[in-house]
Amino acid sequence: MAANNKQRQTILIGVLILTLALAGAWFFFLNNSDSSDQGAVALPTNSTGAKNERVQKILAAVVRVGTINLDTQFFENPKFTALQETPIDIPQVQPIRGRTLENLLKPTRAKEGNKR
């Protein structure tokens, strides 16, 4: 019976993720809004109260972040183009089963009830 509940929970989570993915795809790709307003942020016109001022400051910051232009001239710098990837061999480590070295090195104290 517990397996049946686990299966229902897994199916429910899968349906929820699929629903969110479809809603996101519709919002970003299939929404037929006017393209001239794309990327525009509407600031509230009523500026009374501290809450609206905070909202305006946050939205203004979002607009500033959206207009950041990064300078990519450093990609053309000879020092940058001379960089090379250094191959480093990382040995494959087999997982340790049972006792690990860390556990073996810990000092052990016998419990009073377990003394032989």
Express each pLDDT in 4-56 by its tens digit. 888 889 999 999 999 999 988 888 777 665 555 555 555 555 545 667 888 88
Its pTM surpasses 0.85: no
Residue 14 one-letter amino acid: G
Residue 27 one-letter amino acid: F
Q: What is the residue whose two structure tokens read 């690990």?
A: 100
pLDDT at residue 101 above 80? no
Q: What is the residue whose two structure tokens read 């809450």?
A: 51
Q: What is the residue whose two structure tokens read 């525009």?
A: 40
